[in-house]
Structure 1
């Protein structure tokens, strides 16, 4: 099954592009997981986009048509150079941050959501980076027990948390039971939209939504561990070649 995940929805975003991705997904009746930044203080976003005064009403509309609302960090401001337990990037709002600080972030994020009538079922961190303290903060400060992230071929459970794997930043055919394509509408080009729509036209029957998932108590497999190791090895080589 293919899932669509949309990152970086907030009061400061490219409204035209978000309207476009919403129209496209509506056309094909695809219900994504959408990550909401509760208290966006990311200067790159705040300085670039005009504040959308109707944002929270828009999110309530998304929720009413069964888009799955996710807590996407708190401020979207990086506080460390840690990659945590999913080191896709070496920067984080959460990984490497003391537990009590993470608890405050999660608690305040959930509070803002509740003020706007939103029910977050999933969490994913900015830049995909979080650590075990993040899970503990979620456990104590929220009802969220599902993470959209990490590399695997299928949903698995670790402790109290289910992990929906997120393997690609664009549509492509991958041989996994569950594949999540992560898009940042703010940064999408016209060509990105065209490629996405063409892929959906060809593979529409393979797309599902959060409500279609079966949260099985499956432990991460040896295959998944090997897949994760391969992914990060390839990523390290690419970063080295790019001089990062």
Structure 2
């Protein structure tokens, strides 16, 4: 199984030291990733550094060098608690909103990117959450692909190409099947341990540039495939929430015991 890389939360005010450090790793192995660019960031959690003055020129230079670009939402502001069609999370910028509003948001985001010289037909939903209105609005505004879903390679559904992410990284690394999936990376929050893990992974030559994913011919997905995908996402969400709750309980018990003695 080949692995492509997508980098979320690309903004002028992101964690630039982490981004550059990860980019150096990719450059070492001549890997070009997919960049999810927020057209106009209003998410305080992504505001880490002072905005890079030449951000848009920098992004365009990366594209010329072979990196792939996607539109990552609009403002990256969560407006609903709707998990949408791939309910990995319960926060969304788009899912649950009326079509007209989503249409305006997607159109406005695309216009902002184009004003800065960025053209793309690939969409990346914040928190992986989108619904049928999102898909309709994307198609209306000229988008042809979404970087999301599960599978061993691109698939076609509702006249949109989906470029799948890994359901579980450890399973992907063990898989001997043909195909290509995406590892989702948030450089803003990467730790030294994360960098070390990716250094080892890149050395295995299992990672390919995102352009290799785009070359694969999509297969047609059935409604059964989509049902399984949604079930997988729901299961993963509940498992993650169970682990989080268990961790919180353990911390509370430890804190209570410490105070008692």
Common fold, TM-score beyond 0.5?
A: yes
1:146-178: CA deviations, max 9, x gaps? 110112232211121011111258675053522
The answer to whether structure 1 residue 21 and structure 2 residue 25 are counterparts is no
Cα distance in 2 between the residues matched to 1:230 and 1:67: 30
| Match of residue 63 from structure 1 | 63
| Preserved contact between residue 165 and residue 182 of structure 2 (Cα < 8 Å) | yes
Q: 171-180 vs 127-136, which deviates more?
A: 171-180
Cα distance in 2 between the residues matched to 1:133 and 1:224: 16
The answer to whether structure 1 residue 189 and structure 2 residue 191 are counterparts is yes
Cα distance in 2 between the residues matched to 1:15 and 1:151: 30
**Moved segments of 4+, more than 3 Å:** 168-172, 220-228
Which of 194, 200, 203 is the aligned partner of 2:202? 200
Gaps of 5+ in 1: none
| Match of residue 139 from structure 1 | 139
If you compute each CA radius of gyration, which structure gives the higher value, 1 or 2? 2
1:40-96: CA deviations, max 9, x gaps? 0002223x3212112111111111111110000010000000001011100000000
Gaps of 5+ in 2: 247-261
Change (3 A) 1:206 1:32: closer
| Match of residue 45 from structure 1 | 46
Cα distance in 1 between the residues matched to 2:130 and 2:225: 23
1:94-120: CA deviations, max 9, x gaps? 000111111111111111111121121
TM-score with structure 1 setting the length = 0.90
- Give the number of aligned pairs: 241
Cα distance in 1 between the residues matched to 2:70 and 2:101: 20
The answer to whether structure 1 residue 103 and structure 2 residue 103 are counterparts is yes
Q: 115-124 vs 26-35, which deviates more?
A: 115-124
| Preserved contact between residue 151 and residue 224 of structure 1 (Cα < 8 Å) | no
Bigger relative contact order, structure 1 or 2 (CA pairs below 8 A, ≥6 apart)? 2
